[in-house]
Amino acid sequence: APFDGARNRERIRRAMTAYFVLGPQDVEPLGRTVLDAVKQALAGGITFLQLRAKPGDAGDILELARQISAILPQGEPGIDRPYFVIDDRVDVAWAARQEGLKVDGVHVGQTDLPVRHVRALLGDDAVIGLSTGSVAEAQAAAPLADIIDYVGIGPYHDTISKADAPDGLGAERFAAVSRAARPLPNCAIGGVTPEDAPQIAANGGDGLCVISFICRAPSIEHAAYELRSAWENAR
Ligand code: TZP
Ligand code: MG
Protein backbone atom coordinates (compact mmCIF):
# COMPACT_ATOMS: atom_id res chain seq x y z
CA ALA A 1 0.00 0.00 0.00
CA PRO A 2 1.25 3.52 -0.73
CA PHE A 3 2.59 5.57 2.18
CA ASP A 4 -0.27 7.71 3.43
CA GLY A 5 1.52 10.13 5.70
CA ALA A 6 2.75 10.27 9.25
CA ARG A 7 -0.53 9.07 10.69
CA ASN A 8 -0.74 6.03 8.42
CA ARG A 9 -4.40 5.50 7.60
CA GLU A 10 -4.15 1.79 6.85
CA ARG A 11 -2.43 1.10 10.15
CA ILE A 12 -5.19 2.95 11.96
CA ARG A 13 -7.82 1.04 9.96
CA ARG A 14 -6.32 -2.27 11.11
CA ALA A 15 -6.24 -1.00 14.68
CA MET A 16 -10.03 -0.50 14.64
CA THR A 17 -10.25 -4.31 15.11
CA ALA A 18 -10.76 -4.40 18.90
CA TYR A 19 -11.29 -0.90 20.25
CA PHE A 20 -11.88 -0.63 24.02
CA VAL A 21 -13.38 2.50 25.63
CA LEU A 22 -13.57 2.95 29.39
CA GLY A 23 -13.57 5.31 32.31
CA PRO A 24 -14.02 4.97 36.06
CA GLN A 25 -17.80 5.20 35.61
CA ASP A 26 -17.80 1.98 33.56
CA VAL A 27 -15.82 -0.21 35.94
CA GLU A 28 -15.79 1.19 39.48
CA PRO A 29 -19.49 0.37 40.13
CA LEU A 30 -18.50 -3.24 39.34
CA GLY A 31 -15.65 -3.21 41.86
CA ARG A 32 -12.96 -2.94 39.21
CA THR A 33 -10.37 -0.27 38.57
CA VAL A 34 -9.53 1.35 35.24
CA LEU A 35 -5.91 0.29 35.54
CA ASP A 36 -6.73 -3.38 36.21
CA ALA A 37 -9.27 -3.43 33.40
CA VAL A 38 -6.71 -1.95 31.00
CA LYS A 39 -4.04 -4.47 32.09
CA GLN A 40 -6.36 -7.38 31.41
CA ALA A 41 -7.62 -5.94 28.13
CA LEU A 42 -4.01 -5.50 26.97
CA ALA A 43 -3.36 -9.14 27.81
CA GLY A 44 -6.41 -10.06 25.71
CA GLY A 45 -5.07 -8.19 22.70
CA ILE A 46 -7.05 -4.96 22.28
CA THR A 47 -5.81 -2.86 19.38
CA PHE A 48 -7.12 0.60 20.37
CA LEU A 49 -7.83 2.18 23.76
CA GLN A 50 -9.79 5.29 24.71
CA LEU A 51 -9.93 6.83 28.17
CA ARG A 52 -13.43 8.29 28.54
CA ALA A 53 -13.92 9.65 32.06
CA LYS A 54 -17.32 11.23 32.64
CA PRO A 55 -17.46 13.39 34.60
CA GLY A 56 -13.75 14.03 34.81
CA ASP A 57 -11.53 16.83 36.01
CA ALA A 58 -8.54 17.52 33.79
CA GLY A 59 -5.98 16.68 36.46
CA ASP A 60 -7.68 13.40 37.31
CA ILE A 61 -7.85 12.33 33.67
CA LEU A 62 -4.20 13.27 33.17
CA GLU A 63 -3.20 11.21 36.21
CA LEU A 64 -5.12 8.18 34.89
CA ALA A 65 -3.47 8.68 31.51
CA ARG A 66 -0.05 8.64 33.22
CA GLN A 67 -0.88 5.37 34.94
CA ILE A 68 -2.18 3.79 31.72
CA SER A 69 0.80 5.07 29.75
CA ALA A 70 3.13 3.41 32.25
CA ILE A 71 1.65 -0.05 31.59
CA LEU A 72 1.47 0.23 27.79
CA PRO A 73 4.26 -1.56 25.93
CA GLN A 74 6.99 0.54 24.35
CA GLY A 75 7.16 1.00 20.61
CA GLU A 76 4.97 1.94 17.71
CA PRO A 77 1.21 2.31 18.16
CA GLY A 78 -0.70 -0.10 15.97
CA ILE A 79 2.32 -2.42 15.82
CA ASP A 80 3.86 -2.90 19.27
CA ARG A 81 1.00 -1.55 21.36
CA PRO A 82 -2.61 -0.36 21.03
CA TYR A 83 -3.25 3.22 20.02
CA PHE A 84 -4.25 5.27 23.07
CA VAL A 85 -6.49 8.34 22.86
CA ILE A 86 -8.37 10.52 25.33
CA ASP A 87 -12.06 11.32 24.94
CA ASP A 88 -13.14 14.94 24.46
CA ARG A 89 -10.32 16.66 26.33
CA VAL A 90 -7.94 18.17 23.79
CA ASP A 91 -6.24 20.07 26.61
CA VAL A 92 -5.47 16.88 28.53
CA ALA A 93 -4.28 15.07 25.40
CA TRP A 94 -1.99 18.02 24.64
CA ALA A 95 -0.57 18.03 28.18
CA ALA A 96 -0.08 14.27 28.13
CA ARG A 97 1.86 14.49 24.87
CA GLN A 98 3.95 17.35 26.30
CA GLU A 99 4.85 15.02 29.15
CA GLY A 100 5.91 12.35 26.69
CA LEU A 101 3.14 9.93 27.66
CA LYS A 102 2.07 7.21 25.21
CA VAL A 103 -1.02 9.24 24.34
CA ASP A 104 -1.53 9.30 20.59
CA GLY A 105 -4.36 11.81 20.42
CA VAL A 106 -7.98 12.52 21.13
CA HIS A 107 -11.49 11.36 20.26
CA VAL A 108 -14.02 14.18 19.93
CA GLY A 109 -17.77 14.39 19.48
CA GLN A 110 -19.90 16.56 17.24
CA THR A 111 -20.22 19.34 19.83
CA ASP A 112 -16.60 19.36 21.00
CA LEU A 113 -13.96 21.71 19.58
CA PRO A 114 -14.12 21.67 15.73
CA VAL A 115 -11.55 19.25 14.38
CA ARG A 116 -9.57 21.85 12.41
CA HIS A 117 -8.77 23.53 15.72
CA VAL A 118 -8.00 20.18 17.36
CA ARG A 119 -5.53 19.42 14.58
CA ALA A 120 -3.93 22.86 14.88
CA LEU A 121 -3.52 22.43 18.64
CA LEU A 122 -2.23 18.84 18.69
CA GLY A 123 -0.03 18.94 15.60
CA ASP A 124 0.38 16.80 12.50
CA ASP A 125 1.19 13.47 14.06
CA ALA A 126 -1.60 13.25 16.67
CA VAL A 127 -4.43 10.81 16.04
CA ILE A 128 -7.88 12.42 15.93
CA GLY A 129 -11.14 10.47 15.96
CA LEU A 130 -14.62 11.91 15.50
CA SER A 131 -18.00 10.47 16.53
CA THR A 132 -20.66 10.27 13.82
CA GLY A 133 -24.22 9.02 14.01
CA SER A 134 -25.86 9.88 10.71
CA VAL A 135 -25.20 10.03 6.98
CA ALA A 136 -25.09 13.84 7.22
CA GLU A 137 -22.40 13.73 9.90
CA ALA A 138 -20.40 11.17 7.93
CA GLN A 139 -20.73 13.27 4.74
CA ALA A 140 -19.35 16.23 6.67
CA ALA A 141 -16.48 14.12 8.06
CA ALA A 142 -15.31 12.51 4.80
CA PRO A 143 -13.89 15.74 3.27
CA LEU A 144 -11.94 16.22 6.51
CA ALA A 145 -9.92 13.07 5.84
CA ASP A 146 -6.72 15.16 5.87
CA ILE A 147 -7.59 16.45 9.34
CA ILE A 148 -9.11 13.46 11.13
CA ASP A 149 -7.93 9.86 11.23
CA TYR A 150 -11.05 7.81 11.79
CA VAL A 151 -14.72 8.00 12.73
CA GLY A 152 -16.70 6.14 15.34
CA ILE A 153 -20.15 5.25 14.03
CA GLY A 154 -23.00 4.65 16.40
CA PRO A 155 -24.86 3.70 18.30
CA TYR A 156 -24.99 0.48 16.28
CA HIS A 157 -27.45 -1.11 18.71
CA ASP A 158 -29.14 0.59 21.66
CA THR A 159 -26.58 1.23 24.39
CA ILE A 160 -26.67 1.22 28.17
CA SER A 161 -23.39 3.10 28.47
CA LYS A 162 -24.27 6.57 27.16
CA ALA A 163 -27.22 8.36 28.73
CA ASP A 164 -28.01 10.74 25.86
CA ALA A 165 -27.50 8.25 23.02
CA PRO A 166 -30.22 7.92 20.36
CA ASP A 167 -31.64 4.51 19.34
CA GLY A 168 -29.40 2.05 17.54
CA LEU A 169 -28.79 2.55 13.82
CA GLY A 170 -29.05 -1.10 12.87
CA ALA A 171 -27.09 -2.71 10.07
CA GLU A 172 -28.73 -0.95 7.14
CA ARG A 173 -28.29 2.61 8.41
CA PHE A 174 -24.80 1.72 9.64
CA ALA A 175 -23.95 0.68 6.07
CA ALA A 176 -25.12 4.04 4.72
CA VAL A 177 -23.11 5.97 7.33
CA SER A 178 -19.94 3.93 6.81
CA ARG A 179 -20.24 4.39 3.03
CA ALA A 180 -20.61 8.15 3.46
CA ALA A 181 -17.52 8.27 5.70
CA ARG A 182 -15.19 6.68 3.16
CA PRO A 183 -12.19 6.75 2.88
CA LEU A 184 -11.93 7.24 6.63
CA PRO A 185 -11.43 4.17 8.78
CA ASN A 186 -14.38 3.54 11.10
CA CYS A 187 -15.44 1.48 14.06
CA ALA A 188 -18.97 0.49 15.10
CA ILE A 189 -19.95 1.39 18.67
CA GLY A 190 -23.07 0.88 20.77
CA GLY A 191 -24.16 -2.45 22.21
CA VAL A 192 -21.57 -4.19 20.06
CA THR A 193 -20.51 -7.77 20.85
CA PRO A 194 -18.38 -10.30 18.94
CA GLU A 195 -21.59 -11.75 17.45
CA ASP A 196 -21.97 -8.55 15.44
CA ALA A 197 -18.63 -8.93 13.67
CA PRO A 198 -19.86 -10.62 10.46
CA GLN A 199 -22.70 -8.12 9.95
CA ILE A 200 -20.52 -5.09 10.70
CA ALA A 201 -17.78 -6.37 8.39
CA ALA A 202 -20.33 -6.97 5.63
CA ASN A 203 -21.63 -3.41 5.97
CA GLY A 204 -18.38 -1.51 5.60
CA GLY A 205 -17.14 -1.51 9.18
CA ASP A 206 -13.44 -1.61 9.98
CA GLY A 207 -13.78 -2.86 13.54
CA LEU A 208 -15.60 -3.28 16.82
CA CYS A 209 -15.69 -0.68 19.59
CA VAL A 210 -17.09 -1.57 23.01
CA ILE A 211 -17.51 -0.46 26.56
CA SER A 212 -19.81 -2.90 28.33
CA PHE A 213 -18.94 -6.09 26.46
CA ILE A 214 -15.46 -5.89 27.97
CA CYS A 215 -16.13 -3.97 31.21
CA ARG A 216 -18.95 -6.26 32.32
CA ALA A 217 -17.37 -9.55 31.27
CA PRO A 218 -16.49 -12.13 33.93
CA SER A 219 -13.00 -12.23 32.39
CA ILE A 220 -11.90 -8.97 30.77
CA GLU A 221 -8.91 -10.69 29.20
CA HIS A 222 -11.07 -13.36 27.62
CA ALA A 223 -13.64 -10.83 26.39
CA ALA A 224 -10.94 -8.73 24.74
CA TYR A 225 -9.53 -11.84 23.09
CA GLU A 226 -13.01 -12.86 21.86
CA LEU A 227 -13.63 -9.40 20.41
CA ARG A 228 -10.39 -9.40 18.47
CA SER A 229 -10.77 -13.00 17.27
CA ALA A 230 -14.32 -12.35 16.11
CA TRP A 231 -13.17 -9.46 13.93
CA GLU A 232 -10.16 -11.32 12.58
CA ASN A 233 -12.42 -14.23 11.61
CA ALA A 234 -15.10 -11.97 10.08
CA ARG A 235 -13.14 -9.53 7.96
N1 TZP B 1 -21.07 6.42 21.80
C2 TZP B 1 -22.04 5.84 21.09
S3 TZP B 1 -22.61 4.43 21.84
C4 TZP B 1 -21.52 4.62 23.14
C5 TZP B 1 -20.75 5.75 22.95
C6 TZP B 1 -19.71 6.24 23.83
C7 TZP B 1 -21.45 3.68 24.29
C8 TZP B 1 -20.97 2.32 23.90
O9 TZP B 1 -20.94 1.46 25.01
P10 TZP B 1 -21.49 -0.04 24.97
O11 TZP B 1 -21.56 -0.45 26.40
O12 TZP B 1 -20.49 -0.85 24.21
O13 TZP B 1 -22.85 0.02 24.32
MG1 MG C 1 -17.23 13.14 23.37
* C-beta atoms surrounding 205 within 10 Å: 28
Give residues whose Cβ lies within 5 Å of ion ligand 2. Answer: 88, 109
Task: Output the CA 176–ligand 1 centroid distance in Å.
Answer: 19
Q: Of 60, 138, 68, 133, whose CA–CA distance to 92 is shortest? A: 60
* 137-189 tens-digit pLDDT: 999 999 999 999 999 999 999 999 999 999 999 999 999 999 999 999 999 99
- Tell me what the mean pLDDT of segment 54-62 comes to: 96
For position 7, what pLDDT does the model report? 86
Tell me if 188 CB under 6 Å of ligand 1: no
Please give the share of the chain, as a percent, with pLDDT higher than 90.
96
* 178-227 tens-digit pLDDT: 999 999 999 999 999 999 999 999 999 999 999 999 999 999 999 999 99
Task: Output the CA 233–ligand 2 centroid distance in Å.
Answer: 30
DSSP-derived pairing of the beta strands 48-51 and 150-153: unpaired
pTM: 0.97
Q: What is the dihedral of CA 223, 231, 137, 1, to 10 degrees?
A: 130
